[in-house]
Structure 1
């Protein structure tokens, strides 16, 4: 079963959200026009509106991730570069910013996002044709990259949030990548690699947690989540087609997150073992908020398929990430 085409807007004429999974890009995401029971006051939205733009870059030599996050009352950004051959974190940057000033988040995945703070500038610039430019200048890390357009459609997923209101996310599969990464130790060419992104925009609960997995090449890719958004965004890209997946289960040792993870879906369409090579960790405790963040970097091996009665497609050493995240925000 493939997915229907994305609507032009996430809201119907009566203000009700169009919940579901779709293929393609939606237009401007504006939660101010929500109708009851999902409508919230401007003050509530101010503190519960969360948006982020995450980009992953992957070659045989290096894996990089860059994120710009707007939490409403504060903004933040992070970036890292991981040497796959050495299993070594070459750069790991994180910076908080001022609300309404430091981060400029896109209103949908086809727009540009940016972050500016001391000694740091990050820009994800949409080119209007499904391609993007990523520019990053931070301590010990510089990136100049261009990626896209991809051959596979974007995933659009939208649904209700318990103790929140609504959420929407757009995920890409692999897009052709070009450019360069420069660290304090070495420079890496990105040409011939792949990029993918996650753009998310929602009115979330005060306490939010999730487990996530994502990996892509030009033939196949997947996005899996368990937690605050249920199975709404679970999807498989295979040979240019996009297929919905059922609820995902993440089995791993929380006391040793760098041990193997077993990840599978309830529809018998995906069964993978993830072997971490390293991880980015970031735990924060503030007066009114806290965050526990773990993103292991490694490879997936196992199988996927487009339907329970279809042949299995083997997955071997597919580079990607998992994530275990819990926030009070």
Structure 2
């Protein structure tokens, strides 16, 4: 199935969201133009409008996650770098910001994002379809990265469960990575690695929970989600093609491995964690609990139920368990 091209706006002229999965980049969603039954008062939108821009950088040595998050009435950023061979975190931070001052997340991927406070600076620069840059400064933890590629981007627009309204997200395939990273007293080359991004913009409920699974290589990549957004963003990248995936069943074994199967028979994988980054925040009126597991995927994917299986062996990626009251 070939996905249709992305619309320029997630909301049509009739005020109804253009629910579906598309290929390509979209403009700003325009949530203020929503009509019933999806419309919400301006104060509600201000409190429930959530945006984040997450980037994964992967090499044979390292897995690095960087995110800037704007939840409307507050913001934050986090970054960590994981030594895959040593199975240890080399550097990490996760400060809370000040609403309207420390962070800005653009309305589209191309607008990028930034987080600035004393001792912590992160900038994600978008350059449209083909190129991006990431710059991070946090003491001796430093990143200068560039990533680019012409593979198809996923746009998913859909309803939100658990008290929200609508949501949109853009996901990239694996993008060619270059640059340097400094952490743990050492300088690493990122050249030859892979990057991918998750840019999300929506009106979410007071309580939100998901399981998110993502990994990208040169030929094969996938994005899976179980939770607040249903099956809307489940997708497979295979040899340059972007294919929608059905509902994913997630089973977690006593040893911590995740078993993943999609209902359409196109994906069957086992995720083995190499390490976990926990980030828990408890505030008076809000809380968040994130467990982002870094590890490897093994199994197979295919383009259609009767198509040949393509082996997945040792593909690096993440499996995240997240719950928030925001």
TM-score norm. by structure 2 comes to: 0.98
1:152 corresponds to: 151
1:138 corresponds to: 138
Instruction: List gaps (5 residues or longer) in structure 1.
Output: none
Contact 1:151/1:240 (8 A) holds in 2: no
Post-superposition shift, 1:184? 3.0
Contact 1:90/1:185 (8 A) holds in 2: no
Separation in structure 1 between the aligned mates of residue 273 and residue 6 of structure 2, nearest angstrom: 34
Aligned pairs (5 A) from 1:1-329: 1-148=1-148, 150-162=149-161, 163-253=163-253, 259-329=256-326
**1:260-279 CA distances to partner (integer Å, 9 max, x unpaired)?**
11111111100100010101
Contact 1:93/1:139 (8 A) holds in 2: no
Contact 2:221/2:236 (8 A) holds in 1: yes
Separation in structure 1 between the aligned mates of residue 77 and residue 287 of structure 2, nearest angstrom: 16
**1:264-297 CA distances to partner (integer Å, 9 max, x unpaired)?**
1111100100010101101121110111100000
Separation in structure 2 between the aligned mates of residue 180 and residue 196 of structure 1, nearest angstrom: 16
Instruction: List gaps (5 residues or longer) in structure 2.
Output: none
Secondary structure of the structure 1 residue equivalent to 2:246: coil
Secondary structure of the structure 2 residue equivalent to 1:96: coil
**1:215-247 CA distances to partner (integer Å, 9 max, x unpaired)?**
001111000000000000000000000000001
**1:47-76 CA distances to partner (integer Å, 9 max, x unpaired)?**
100000000000111111100000111100
Post-superposition shift, 1:82? 0.7
Separation in structure 2 between the aligned mates of residue 296 and residue 184 of structure 1, nearest angstrom: 20
Post-superposition shift, 1:129? 4.6
Aligned residues: 325
Separation in structure 1 between the aligned mates of residue 277 and residue 185 of structure 2, nearest angstrom: 19
Secondary structure of the structure 1 residue equivalent to 2:109: coil
Contact 1:174/1:194 (8 A) holds in 2: yes
Contact 1:298/1:320 (8 A) holds in 2: yes
Post-superposition shift, 1:125? 0.7
Secondary structure of the structure 2 residue equivalent to 1:97: coil
Secondary structure of the structure 2 residue equivalent to 1:25: coil
Q: Once structures 1 and 2 are overlaid, which stretch shifts more, 150-159 or 120-129?
A: 120-129
Contact 2:109/2:128 (8 A) holds in 1: no
Post-superposition shift, 1:128? 3.4
C-alpha root-mean-square deviation of aligned residues, in Å?
A: 1.0
Post-superposition shift, 1:98? 0.5
